[in-house]
């Protein structure tokens, strides 16, 4: 970075870095430092009566300091929190040379610098647990100025709250807004809980291709890339469903995957072009079994992450205690529109959309017309966890027909606070029916529906070898994390959400 682009404070920090080196102090020393304690462990383990923790070695970032002549206090922050450190000139400089304190500590160190401290824990005269420094080591010089929150005249200054800056510079966000870290700790706990739940159910975690010759398993617009060696276009996967079901054909009784999926579509508070989806497939089960499986799983996650099944999501308190409401899709549309669309053909559905003032496109087939009505009139009412079940066959090209009504499918979507959280089927395992539905998707694609599915002949061939009755589930991990942590934007549960490139 050119000097002309640097602020005055940044220039001073670079000069301090240079002076440290001139004094023989490397501002970025060899990486190993013998840390044996954290801010949290000191708070939890120190016993003033026992006088323990006499040999503490911690490392962290300077977040504030008060220099008072020959003694100073600094606030040190590590991964677990903050703790006060007492620095006395004659303690860290026992000989005649007081340069380390008078020059290095007082003049060349700044807020944001990472240092190591060796010393002992004690309680100050004001009753605050602190670390008495016996040795100080510079571990990393910070050349940028942290936006540390300051208060003056009743106003807050330099708070790092701008969403775009926070998402672009997540590293700064995590430093100055340490509460943000808790969201990602909970995210990891959610995934760990799910993984243990699936493993206990006898399922195997697997990996499937991200680069695919046919983007299958969902109706979505894919990203396209090119493989130079093979000289072919490939697609970033939009779902991992068809590969997982191939494994069921191959003899696995239950498989799951936490997958990075990619969809070249719009971005908003609940959608990011790159997202994490968990999909699981279990042989000899159906969608009714899967509903019960999901209910128990979400109850377990809520208890593990928050200690209660009740979660605050925006203005709503949602309870993940089973059982959840089960509402057939066509009944839901009738309940919230007063219109019974059962048995309507495409022209009748298009006219119904016109009468209900639902926006449509000429490329929409029956499935998308029904989905448009449902999205406009029903979704926002589904606040408590609700299974919308028994979708029309036109909306579900990979789903087994309903055992009692062949115009419907054995499918559910789970909605919470007006948003879809999970999608599940009794999987279609009839290869002839599957090929016909793929061909119908091809017809829609020819009409201009760029989200319609491709015909995957290899998947049809796999089904021809025989796939047992199977239930499958897909669940968005990002959205689940939003619900379990009370976040309103998907960007707040992604460490590095997609952004427009910066201009430097």
Do β-strands 232-236 and 224-227 pair in parallel, antiparallel, or remain unpaired? antiparallel
Q: What percent of the chain has pLDDT over 70?
A: 97
- Give the chain's mean pLDDT: 94
- pLDDT(1) > 50: no
> Could you read off the pLDDT of 126-173 as tens digits, one per residue?
999 999 999 999 999 999 999 976 665 656 556 788 999 999 999 999
Spatial separation of the C-alpha atoms in residues 112 and 141, rounded to whole Å: 8
pLDDT at 3 over 50: no
Cα distances from 400 to residues 55, 171, 219, 369, in angstroms, run 66, 46, 17, 21
Q: Cα separation of 424 and 399, whole Å?
A: 9
pLDDT digits (tens, 9 = 90+) for 378-437: 999 999 999 999 999 988 888 999 999 999 999 999 999 999 999 999 999 999 999 998
- Taking phi over 0 as left and psi of -120 to 50 as alpha, with beta for the rest, 120 belongs to beta
pLDDT of 42 over the 80 cut: yes
Helix (H) or strand (E) run with residue 66 in it: strand 56-68
pLDDT in tens, 69-85: 899 999 999 999 999 99
pLDDT in tens, 235-280: 999 999 999 999 999 999 999 999 999 999 988 888 999 999 999 9
What is the fold of 180-324+384-493? BirA Bifunctional Protein; domain 2 (3.30.930)
Phi, psi of 116 (to 5 degrees): -110, 145
Q: What is the mean pLDDT of residues 288-308?
A: 98
Give the pLDDT score at 452.
79
Instruction: Report how far apart the first and last C-alpha atoms of the chain are (Å, whole number).
Output: 9
Per-residue pLDDT reduced to its tens digit, 76-128: 999 999 999 999 999 999 888 999 999 999 999 999 999 999 999 999 999 99
Q: Residue 449's pLDDT band (boundaries 50, 70, 90)? A: confident
The CA distance from 214 to 194, in Å, is 29
Closest alpha carbon to 455 in 473, 436, 470, 433: 436
**Domain boundary assignment for the chain:** 3-146, 180-324+384-493
Q: What is the pTM for the complete model shown? A: 0.90
274-313 in b/e form (b: 16+ CB < 10 A) is ebbbbbbbbbebbbeebbebbbebbbbbbebbbeebebeb
Query: What is the C-alpha to C-alpha distance for residues 462 and 427, in angstroms, rounded to an integer?
Result: 14
Read off φ and ψ for residue 54, nearest 5 degrees: -90, -10
- Read off the pLDDT of residues 316-365 as tens digits, 9 standing for 90 and up: 999 999 999 999 999 999 999 999 999 999 999 999 999 999 999 998 98
Nearest Cα neighbor of 254 from 297, 301, 199, 209 is 199
- The CATH number of 3-146, from 3.40.50.2300, 2.40.50.140, 2.60.40.10, 3.40.350.10, is 2.40.50.140
Q: What backbone phi and psi angles, to 5 degrees, belong to 254? A: -160, 125
Q: Which residues contact 478 (CB under 8 A, 6 or more apart)?
A: 272, 275, 276, 490, 493, 494
**Do 282 and 254 contact (CB within 8 A), yes or no?**
yes
Backbone angles phi, psi at 261, to 5 degrees: -115, 160
The distance from CA 114 to its chain's CA centroid, rounded to whole angstroms, is 28
């Amino acid at each position: 970075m050119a000097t002309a682009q640097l602020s005055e404070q940044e220039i001073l920090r670079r000069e301090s870095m240079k002076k440290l080196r001139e004094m023989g102090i490397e501002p970025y020393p060899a990486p190993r430092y013998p840390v044996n304690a954290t801010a949290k462990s000191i708070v939890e383990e120190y016993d003033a009566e026992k006088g323990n923790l006499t040999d503490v070695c911690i490392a962290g970032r300077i977040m504030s300091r008060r220099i008072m002549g020959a003694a100073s206090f600094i606030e040190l922050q590590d991964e677990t929190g903050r703790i006060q450190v007492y620095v006395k000139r004659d303690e860290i400089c026992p000989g005649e040379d007081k340069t380390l304190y008078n020059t290095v500590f007082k003049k060349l160190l700044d807020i944001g610098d990472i240092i190591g401290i060796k010393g002992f824990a004690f309680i100050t005269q004001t009753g605050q647990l602190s670390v008495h420094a016996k040795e100080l080591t510079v571990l990393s010089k910070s050349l940028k100025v942290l936006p540390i929150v300051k208060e003056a005249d009743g106003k807050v200054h330099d708070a790092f709250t701008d969403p775009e800056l926070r998402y672009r510079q997540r590293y700064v966000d995590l430093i100055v807004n340490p509460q943000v870290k808790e969201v990602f700790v909970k995210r990891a706990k959610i995934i760990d809980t799910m993984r243990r739940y699936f493993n206990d159910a006898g399922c195997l975690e697997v990996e499937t291709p991200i680069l695919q010759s046919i983007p299958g398993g969902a109706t979505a617009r894919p990203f396209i890339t090119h493989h130079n060696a093979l000289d072919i276009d490939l697609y970033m996967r939009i779902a991992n469903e068809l590969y997982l079901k191939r494994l069921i054909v191959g003899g696995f009784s239950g498989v799951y995957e936490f997958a990075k999926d990619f969809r070249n579509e719009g971005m908003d508070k609940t959608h990011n072009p790159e997202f994490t989806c968990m999909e699981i497939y279990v042989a000899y089960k159906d969608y009714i079994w899967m509903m019960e499986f999901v209910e128990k799983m979400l109850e377990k996650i809520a208890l593990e992450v928050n200690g209660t099944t009740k979660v605050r999501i925006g203005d709503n308190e949602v309870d993940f205690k089973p059982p959840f409401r089960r509402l057939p899709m066509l009944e839901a549309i009738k309940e919230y529109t007063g219109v019974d669309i059962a048995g309507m053909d495409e022209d009748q559905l298009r006219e119904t959309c016109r009468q209900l003032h639902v926006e449509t496109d000429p490329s929409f087939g029956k499935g998308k017309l029904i989905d448009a009505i449902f999205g406009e009139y029903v979704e926002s009412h589904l606040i408590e966890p609700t299974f919308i079940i028994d979708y029309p066959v036109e909306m579900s090209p990979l789903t087994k027909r309903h055992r009692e009504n062949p115009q419907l499918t054995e499918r559910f979507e789970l909605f919470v606070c007006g948003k879809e959280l999970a999608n599940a089927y009794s999987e279609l395992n009839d290869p002839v029916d599957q090929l016909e539905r793929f061909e119908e998707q091809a017809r829609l694609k020819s009409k201009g529906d760029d989200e319609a599915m491709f015909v995957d002949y290899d998947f049809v061939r796999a089904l021809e070898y025989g796939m047992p009755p199977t239930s499958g589930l897909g669940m968005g991990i990002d959205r689940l994390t939003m619900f379990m942590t009370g976040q309103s934007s998907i960007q707040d549960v992604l460490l590095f959400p997609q952004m427009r490139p910066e201009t430097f």
